[in-house]
Amino acid sequence: MELELAQNLLKRILILGGTGEARDLAGLLVTKPGLVVISSLAGRTEMPQMPLGLVRSGGFGGISGLRDYLAQQSISAVIDATHPFASTITEHGIQACQVAQIPYLRLTRPAWQPEAGDYWLVVHSHTEAAQEIPGRGNRIFLTIGRQELHHYRAVPGWFLMRMIDPPASGSEIPKGELRLERGPFALADELALLAAYRINLMVSKNSGGVATYSKIIAARQLQLPVIMIQRPEIPECEQVNTIHQAWDWLQGKLERSSSGNE
Ligand SMILES: NC(=O)c1ccc[n+]([C@@H]2O[C@H](COP(=O)([O-])OP(=O)(O)OC[C@H]3O[C@@H](n4cnc5c(N)ncnc54)[C@H](OP(=O)(O)O)[C@@H]3O)[C@@H](O)[C@H]2O)c1
């Protein structure tokens, strides 16, 4: 009976994860009393870096699947710390929380901003990025992960493609070489890589954060043009940039719900 009572007092928090920030947040929240922290991973990476706390893996089955999961697991709040380009799960999270009337927060790293010496061409999609390559470079460093490579399949040129896991077998990818690596990457290594492969154009998503920023600094130092893909738009929602801001938000929500104001 006492155990049941204690469990009822615990607040169950769902982190939509798959990023370093999500792992850091889980590491912070598991130290806080009264919380059960569940991280959700999409389940696509072969050897994911595991967060502290409980972990579940695989899609929920759309908005309704996520809404059902929130109810079944008695989730008190959702913090979406997925990658800035993972916009489908973010839209699902926002909508499922609205229906379930559960507080939702987006934790996202700020986008990179161009600095003096950067030569960026800003585009809004992979289709646009692929169209812009001809005439700008023919030895291209394509650092967009493995899911969107098909957009570049017919683009003339030679591609150095960096990602964590290889593309699915049979997927259509451009001509070039795969480099399977997980960041963070050191500036000296990025400079050496760009020189060794005689890269004359980079294509990058504006992911933000520090783990992969050294390639942007390297491009600046080598005066290399970068085709920079902007983040997808997401519906309006509460957002913060750091795990400590996320904790402040969560405390506020939990205090309000325990005082009966929400
Ligand atoms: N996109 C990137 O560039 C990128 C880079 C680094 C890491 N990641 C991480 O990789 C994962 C997948 O990214 P994506 O761009 O493929 O996502 P997405 O396009 O936004 O989502 C596609 C579907 O994958 C499932 N899903 C995605 N993230 C999930 C999560 N954390 N937990 C449970 N299900 C999830 C959902 O399936 P259901 O509809 O069945 O629920 C979602 O509808 C995310 O966790 C993201 O943080 C993405």
Q: Whose CA is closest to atom 47 on ligand 1?
A: 82
CA dist., res. 232 & res. 237, Å (int): 14
In this predicted model, what pLDDT tens digit does every residue of 124-150 receive, in sequence order? Answer: 999 999 999 999 999 999 999 999 999
pLDDT tier at 7 (50, 70, 90 boundaries)?
Answer: low
Pocket test for ligand 1, best of 21, 47, 88 (most atoms within 8 A of CB): 88
In this predicted model, what pLDDT tens digit does every residue of 183-222 receive, in sequence order? Answer: 999 999 999 999 999 999 999 999 999 999 999 999 999 9
Residue 207 CA: which ligand 1 atom is closest?
3
Q: Check pocket membership of 64 for ligand 1, CB cut-off 6 A.
A: no
pLDDT tier at 252 (50, 70, 90 boundaries)?
Answer: very high
120-229: which CATH architecture? 3-Layer(aba) Sandwich (3.40)
Please give the CATH superfamily to which domain 2-109+233-258 belongs: NAD(P)-binding Rossmann-like Domain (3.40.50.720)
Q: Whose CA is closest to atom 26 on ligand 1?
A: 42
Q: Check pocket membership of 206 for ligand 1, CB cut-off 6 A.
A: no
Q: Check pocket membership of 85 for ligand 1, CB cut-off 6 A.
A: yes
pLDDT tier at 228 (50, 70, 90 boundaries)?
Answer: very high
pLDDT tier at 260 (50, 70, 90 boundaries)?
Answer: low
Residue 146 pLDDT: 95
- 85 has pLDDT over 70: yes
Residues of the chain with CATH 3.40.50.720: 2-109+233-258
Residue 168 pLDDT: 92
Q: What would the mean pLDDT of 96-113 be, rounded to a whole number?
A: 97
Residue 118 pLDDT: 98
Rounded to the nearest integer, the mean pLDDT of the chain is: 95
Q: Whose CA is closest to atom 13 on ligand 1?
A: 86
Residue 257 pLDDT: 79
Residue 258 pLDDT: 72
Q: Check pocket membership of 143 for ligand 1, CB cut-off 6 A.
A: no
CA dist., res. 177 & res. 197, Å (int): 10
Beta strand residue intervals within the chain, DSSP E = 11-16, 35-41, 54-57, 75-80, 104-107, 120-123, 139-143, 158-163, 176-180, 201-205, 226-229, 239-240
**Cβ(235)–Cβ(89) below 8 Å:** no
In this predicted model, what pLDDT tens digit does every residue of 8-63 receive, in sequence order? Answer: 589 999 999 999 999 999 999 999 999 999 999 999 888 899 999 999 999 999 99
CA dist., res. 209 & res. 229, Å (int): 15
